[in-house]
Amino acid sequence: MSEETPEGEFRLRPMNCELNQLSMPDGSAMLMQGNTAVVAGIYGPIEAKPQKMIYDKASVEVSYSPIKGPAKVDDRMTEMYIKETCEAAIIVTFHPATAICINIQELEDSGGILACTINAACLALINAGIPMKFTIAAVNCMIQEGTENIVLDPDTTQLQEARAEFTFAFDSMNKDVICCNTVGSFTETEFLEAMEKCKQVSQYVFDFYRNLVKKYAKVI
């Protein structure tokens, strides 16, 4: 499924997604935001390894693979962001002493890779039928060098002129911030303005989820 964003100040790159493309995982999502693309697969709930078993809740394990070469420190940080964000959304007490494994494969990074990855993981969790308290929408933005202009969902060309870059993830219930990643220098006012713009445009991402699930669900 593909969908264009509305014209105007609050604009994201086009989003395209196909669910359940992988045969082995319990759920999967292949997501493109602009030219940035990732595929996410969910395994679980499955039996947890003894050393990782948590007796009163499910453990969430994340593996992130870059497009080429071994995983680097930044990739491990990406895994941490995905893990903590998804743990906040999943009702982990429904499946104690099990593991929910989230595997992410980067296909193309054309800007906003962390936001695209979080959104793909959320869609894959929905596709796998994992019980969740809420869904999550992540949005990336930047502040242009030498200006105070906030650019939503920039690509790699635009990011070359970035003074600061932000990725926010919001829950679908109250639009609270679940995850925040920042790079560069900025003021408190700029941070709050960037967060507010990303929060407003996150509704488009939630609408995209709903329209996508309608395509695959028999009853909704």
Residue 5 forms part of a structural domain: no
- State which residues form the domain around 99: 13-216
CB 44 within 8 A of CB 26: yes
Predicted model pTM: 0.93
Residue 6 forms part of a structural domain: no
- Residue 122 CA to residue 18 CA, distance in Å, equals 13
Q: Tens digit of pLDDT for each residue in 89-134?
A: 999 999 999 999 999 999 999 999 999 999 999 999 999 999 999 9
Please give the torsion angle defined by the CA atoms of residues 20, 35, 62 and 86, in that order, rounded to the nearest 10 degrees.
-80
Residue 50 forms part of a structural domain: yes
Here the CATH number for the domain that contains residue 147 is: 3.30.230.70
pLDDT at 192: 97
Number of domains in the chain: 1
Residue 1 forms part of a structural domain: no
Beta-carbon contacts of residue 171 (< 8 Å; ≥ 6 apart): 88, 89, 133, 134, 135, 136, 178
- Residue 151 CA to residue 164 CA, distance in Å, equals 10
Residue 208 forms part of a structural domain: yes
CB 187 within 8 A of CB 143: no
Residue 195 forms part of a structural domain: yes
Three-state SS annotation for 118-179: HHHHHHHHHHHCCCECCCEEEEEEEEECCCCCEEECCCHHHHCCEEEEEEEEEECCCCCEEE
Give the phi and the psi of residue 200 in degrees, each rounded to 5.
-65, -45
pLDDT at 177: 97
- Residue 183 CA to residue 142 CA, distance in Å, equals 9
Going across the sheet that includes 162-171, the strands are 150-152, 136-144, 162-171, 177-184
Residue 197 forms part of a structural domain: yes
Q: Tens digit of pLDDT for each residue in 45-88?
A: 998 888 888 889 999 999 999 998 888 888 999 999 999 999 99
Task: Say what angle helices 73-89 and 113-128 make with each other, to 10 degrees.
Answer: 40
Please give the torsion angle defined by the CA atoms of residues 45, 90, 13 and 218, in that order, rounded to the nearest 10 degrees.
70
pLDDT at 7 over 60: no
When comparing pLDDT for 72 and 8, which is higher? 72
- Give the confidence band of 218 by pLDDT, cuts at 50, 70, 90: low
